[in-house]
Structure 1
Amino acid sequence: MFVRYKAQESAKKQKQSFKEEFNMIKVALTNLAKYNEGELVFTWLELPASEYEIRKAFREIGCLDGDEYIISDYEAPFEISESADVYELNEKLDELINIDATDSILAGVYDVYDVMHFAIDLANTGILSYAEEYVDCIISDETVRYNVQEMAKEGDFWRIRYFTNGITEPAAFYYVDGYGNCRDLRQSDLDDIVRELLDEVMR
């Protein structure tokens, strides 16, 4: 029985850097006809791969052109549907790794600037046109100070209190929660944004 990847199911995998996870992106190509007959015929394919490598993998499971297959298991830092087209998946990965900002993301040592540039590059290259929406929750210190000044002019000091209540130390950027209030930006926030972007790109 295959166990599909879920980030929350493995604390160990959560601790892996994105570079480690990207270097081990694998999909289990499985012959659907054999699977429906109760026979498990599959092979692991590392991505991105050349067309020759993909065709070789299909031959290994007895799938000729037009034969149906499923991705019955995978190892990746994002979700992969069992009905995903391996050629389209491979093409998306090729596009993704060719983005300059991807280097720091894959190295697992990214900061807020790297994540913002990654989102911008995804949008500018057309890979994910609305990628910048995922970093709208990040607000600069300059913007926070401007908003505070405007609130002060209006005498809305209670609003200032709630708006800045989650900020414990000076920083260049902060995180805006669902209520529109600011708090310290955490590494886990950046991790969540990166995973959401990757999931959306590979969908």
Structure 2
Amino acid sequence: MNIKIYVANLGKYNEGILQGEWFTLPHDIKDIYVTIGVGQYDEQGNYNHGVEEDGRLYEEFAIHDYEAPFEISEYSSINKLNELAEALQDISEPVANHGLYEPQSVINFALQLESESLLHDAHYHIGDIIDDDRINEMIKHDIDKGWERLKHFLYAADSTEEYHHLNGAGNIERLTNDILTGIVEDIYKEILENN
């Protein structure tokens, strides 16, 4: 998974000068600071934050743009983003063909994040995605509740689809890309909040 950020020298920006660079994370933070002009190394190779130029000290920076599957704010911690990028390097993102997610790839994504301790409870996010086998189990369980219950349960079922969504009323509905996109967005939101 690629996370890219455009980091700008905020002092220069406020003076009307665009001085910044795109970085693919993880990236050495001191290198980022030196590249955008808010950090420097002295003759002994020691890093110093802040660069004085014409009597002005440049030490502030901001993220002015990003390319990531989640939102990044202007003042997000680059250290935390680096840690997250490193943790996500070996995780397979859910597959989206022409903007449409494949249900199994969303399930695998959540389970892989959980196994790497990046997501607390994958089931919370993907527990309502059900396949034909689970539907059969649910029908066997609910058969003694009568035809009315099964009629509502199966009302929106589509026998040509392998996966469905279990809605809040406990009935099957079509698993749309909007539902899958919402799941992926919620997963990324939880990862950002907890890491």
The match for 1:63 among 38, 42, 56 is 38
Report SS of the residue matched to 1:142: helix
- What is the TM-score of this pair, normalised by structure 1? 0.71
Residue-by-residue CA offset, 1:151-193 (whole Å, 9 max, x unaligned):
33122x2222221111122444311123221123234433332
CA shift in 2, pair 1:83/1:132, >3 Å:
farther
Give yes or no for contact 2:26–2:81 (8 Å, CA) kept in 1: no
Would you say 1:27 and 2:31 are equivalent positions? Answer: no
Counterpart of 2:134?
A: 143
The count of residues paired between Structure 1 and Structure 2 equals 173
Give yes or no for contact 1:41–1:61 (8 Å, CA) kept in 2: no
Counterpart of 1:7?
A: none
Counterpart of 1:45?
A: 22
Would you say 1:76 and 2:64 are equivalent positions? Answer: no
The match for 1:115 among 100, 106, 119 is 106
Q: Give the C-alpha shift of residue 97 in structure 1.
A: 1.9
Q: Give the C-alpha shift of residue 140 in structure 1.
A: 2.8
> Aligned partners of 1:175, 1:192: CA distance in 2, in Å?
13
CA root-mean-square deviation: 2.6
> Aligned partners of 1:43, 1:126: CA distance in 2, in Å?
34
Higher helix share: 1
Larger radius of gyration: 2
Would you say 1:129 and 2:113 are equivalent positions? Answer: no
Give yes or no for contact 1:175–1:184 (8 Å, CA) kept in 2: yes
| Structure 2, unaligned runs of 5 or more | 40-48, 51-58
Counterpart of 1:10?
A: none
| Structure 1, unaligned runs of 5 or more | 1-21
Q: Percentage identity across aligned positions?
A: 28
- The residue type paired with residue 96 of structure 2 is G
- What is the TM-score of this pair, normalised by structure 2? 0.73
The match for 2:186 among 168, 171, 196 is 196
> Aligned partners of 2:149, 2:170: CA distance in 1, in Å?
11
